[in-house]
Amino acid sequence: MRMNFGFASLIFSPPITSTMALFFLHYARVPLSAILLFYLLTYGCFYGKCDDFESGSTGGSVGFEDPPEIVAKALLCFNDRYIYSACEESYRLKESGNLEVPLEKTEEYCNGPCLSETELVLDCINGIFSNFLFYNRATLQDVRDTIHAGCGYGPQRGNFDVLEHINAERGNACRASNMAALGFSFFILGLFSLLL
């Protein structure tokens, strides 16, 4: 007389029951695959959205000066008459992080003194406070990237809208990271289905 211990009896039984266990395991991975696929689809849709930019602490050691003094020094770079001397005032980078260069003035901005003077302002701020955030939450690198794209000869030429550039870059980064996570998850799913 043989006692029935559920699934354990399938594994530790004569060969005919072992075949049944293999048959069971073969079909058990289909629901597991469906569950994993559902998880991956919901993971890609709900997790990793980059709609809101959360800034943490600006980090880094700033020496013995108070943060307001450091920010005040960085803000002086915008009004330094030795830096901004030849660029028309309406095209200058502002504390808000905006560059208001009309499309028809792209050549004048990119080939004239404004480009080099704006780079000097960014270098001045970077020398004082490298983690500086403009009022629109743009970083120094965001502004540099926008200027590079606006003065480049690609599809973004003449577009000096810093916020639009930031949103496009962050959106592309989020899509790329979600696609990488989804691809890696499918790789793991395929690996598990081969092992079962």
The C-alpha atoms of residue 9 and residue 7 are separated, in whole angstroms, by 5
Contacts of 55 (CB under 8 A, 6+ apart): 133, 137
Domain regions of the chain by residue span: 67-161
**Residue spans of beta strands (DSSP E) within the chain:** none
Identify the pLDDT of residue 101. 92
Question: What is the spatial distance between Cα 7 and Cα 92, in angstroms, rounded to a whole number?
Answer: 75
String of b and e for 37-64 (b: at least 16 CB within 10 Å)? eeebeeeeeeeeeeeeeeeeeeeeeeee
pLDDT in tens, 25-59: 455 555 555 555 555 555 555 444 444 444 444 44
- pLDDT tier at 6, thresholds 50, 70, 90: very low
Distance of alpha carbon 122 from alpha carbon 105, whole angstroms: 21
Q: Which residues on neighbouring strands pair with residue 139, listed in sequence order?
A: 133
Q: Which residues of 88-98 are buried (b: 16+ CB within 10 A; e: fewer)?
A: eeebbbeeebb
Phi, psi of 139, rounded to the nearest 5 degrees: -90, 170
Answer yes or no: is pLDDT of 85 > 60. yes
pLDDT for 168 equals 76
Q: Is the pLDDT of residue 177 over 60?
A: yes
Q: How confident is the model at residue 14 (pLDDT cuts 50, 70, 90)?
A: very low
pLDDT at 64: 61
Under a CB-based contact definition with an 8 Å cutoff, are residues 124 and 77 in contact? yes
State pLDDT tens for residues 132-150.
888 888 999 999 999 999 9
